[in-house]
Chains A and B, each alone.
Chain A
Amino acid sequence: QVQLVQSGPEVKKPGASVKVSCKASGYTFTNYIITWVRQAPGQGLEWMGWISAYNGNTNYAQNFQDRVTLTRDTSTSTAYMEVRSLRSDDTAVYYCARDSQSWGQKLVFDVWGQGTLVTVSS
């Protein structure tokens, strides 16, 4: 079945970096955009950016464009999100999700990973 499986929880100190992976299966990875959304504890959803799995093109939310890098590895059907210079307010669950439209840019997300909790604490 179509699924996205993310890497496990992380605990990092302020100023460190974290890289979260999102492995796709059950569909042709390069046909879709992958987006990243985060959710701070008890809060709502915040869009971070998206990457085309086909050509690696990216689009970042302004709040994240200086500290976040989205990449992908087509040989392993895996997308990655790296956040640098972590702060305590980066503590959140980070989700990857797949665009609902192949070969397009609908930016509605029908398949989600299980989420990865990143805790930033000294």
Chain B
Amino acid sequence: EIALTQSPGTLSLSPGERATLSCRASQGVSSRYLAWYQQKPGQAPRLLIYDASSRATGIPDRFSGSGSGTDFTLTISRLEPEDFAVYYCQQYGSSPLTFGQGTKVEIK
């Protein structure tokens, strides 16, 4: 089973700032099969990024993903008020599917 470790646990930033979130895998994720989701309180997760760097339909271009192997990054170039949420990475290169424990992006 591939374990995903996200860092930091909490990121305190102001609107307009850049957010950089990390997701590290315990072993290589094949074919860059890594996704990122956003979750707001009381809501279901929302797909942002798949295949490490492809934006899902309707996702603004301020969200970008990068990485390969064991190290992946989600970058939000300029935080908007609606971007303050919890972000999860998920690998789908091998079974079982696994999620990271999440990074909370909060308003500073």
Contacts and interface: CB of A to CB of B under 8 A. Distances in A.
Interface residues of A, number: 21
B8 interface: no
B92 A44 contact: no
A114 to B, nearest CB: 6
Interface in B57-106: 57, 88, 90, 92, 95-102
In the complex, the 9 A-B pairs of residues with the closest C-beta atoms, listed nearest first: A112-B44, A107-B92, A47-B97, A45-B99, A108-B50, A61-B96, A110-B47, A44-B101, A108-B35
Nearest to B92: A107
A100 interface: yes
B57 A110 contact: yes
Given A112-B44, A113-B44, A44 B35 contact: no
B58 to A, nearest CB: 10
A44 B99 contact: yes
Given A59-B95, A110-B47, A112-B44, A44 B57 contact: no
B56 interface: yes
A27 interface: no
B45 interface: yes
Contacts of B46: 112
Contacts of A59: 95
Interface string A95-122: 1010010000011111011110000000
A62 B96 contact: yes
Contacts of A47: 96-99
A106 B96 contact: no
Interface string A52-72: 000000010110000000000
B61 to A, nearest CB: 18
A89 interface: no
A46 interface: yes
A42 B96 CA distance: 22
